[in-house]
Structure 1
Amino acid sequence: MRNPPSKSAGAVRIVAGRLRGSRLAVPEREGLRPTPDRVRETLFNWLMPYLPGMRCLDLYAGTGALGIEALSRGADACTFVERDRELARALADNLARLRVPGAEVANADAAGWLAGPARPFDLVFLDPPFDANLWQGAAALLESRGWLADGGFAYVESPREARLELPPAWAPHREGFAGAVRYALYRRSGAVPLS
Structure 2
Amino acid sequence: MKTNNKKTPVPSRPSHQVRIIAGRWKRTPLNVIVADGLRPTPDRVRETVFNWLNFLLPGGWQDLRCLDLFAGSGALGFEAASRGAAQVTMVESHTPAFKQLEQVKQKLAADELVLLRADALTVAAGMAVRQQTMDVIFLDPPFGLGILQKILPICAHLLTQNGLLYVEAEHSLLIDDKLQEVPDYLLGWNVIRADQAGAVYFHILQRSNLVRDLPENQA
TM-score over 0.5 for the pair = yes
CA distance in 2, matches of 1:161, 1:123: 20
Contact 1:58 1:79 in 2 (8 A): yes
Could you say which residue in structure 1 is the equivalent of 2:66? Answer: 56
| Alignment check: 8 A CA contact 1:25 1:94 kept | no
Give 1:126's aligned amino acid. Answer: L
> In 2, Cα distance between the equivalents of 1:19 and 1:76?
15
Displacement of 1:136: 1.7
How far 1:162 moved relative to its partner? 6.7
1:126 correspondence with 2:126: no
> Are 1:142 and 2:161 matched, yes or no?
no
Do the aligned partners of residues 110 and 118 (structure 1) sit closer, same or farther apart at CA in structure 2, a change above 3 Å counting?
A: farther
Contact 2:173–2:191 (CA<8 Å) still a contact in 1? no
Q: Who is 2:6 aligned against?
A: none
Q: Partners in 2 of 1:172 and 1:162 — Cα distance?
A: 7
Percent identity of equivalent pairs: 39
Deviations 1:139-168 (CA, angstroms, capped at 9, x unpaired): 11222xx21111100001011357794443
> 1:1-195 maps to which residues of 2 (within 5 A)?
10-49=16-55, 50=57, 51-52=60-61, 53-116=63-126, 117-143=130-156, 146-160=157-171, 165=183, 166-189=185-208
**Counterpart secondary structure, 2:46:** helix
Letter in 2 for 1:181: V
User: More displaced, 114-123 or 162-171?
Assistant: 162-171
Q: In the TM superposition, what is the alpha-carbon distance from 1:169 to its structure 2 partner? A: 2.8
Do the aligned residues in 2 keep the contact of 1:92 with 1:105 (CA within 8 Å)? yes
Provide, for residues 13-36 of structure 1, a one-character-per-residue CA deviation record: whole Å limited to 9, x for no partner.
111111110011222212211001
Answer with 1 or 2: which has the greater Rg. Answer: 2
Q: Which runs of 5+ in 1 are unaligned?
A: 3-7, 191-195
Q: Which amino acid aligns with 2:86?
A: D
Q: Secondary structure at the match of 2:144?
A: helix
SS of the equivalent of 1:15 reads coil
Count residues with an aligned counterpart. Answer: 183
User: Contact 1:9/1:29 (CA < 8 Å) preserved in 2?
Assistant: no
CA distance in 1, matches of 2:36, 2:173: 21
Deviations 1:33-92 (A, max 9, x none): 100101000000011141412110001111110011011112111100111111111111
Amino acid paired to 1:91: L
Paired residue type of 2:165: A
How has the CA–CA distance of structure 1 residues 147 and 161 changed in structure 2, closer, same or farther, with 3 Å as cutoff? closer
1:96 Cα deviation (Å)?
A: 1.1
* Unaligned residue ranges in structure 2 (runs of 5+): 1-8, 175-181, 210-219
* Distance (Å, rounded) in 2 between the aligned partners of 1:189 and 1:169: 5
Q: Under a length normalisation based on structure 2, what TM-score does the superposition of the two structures give? A: 0.77
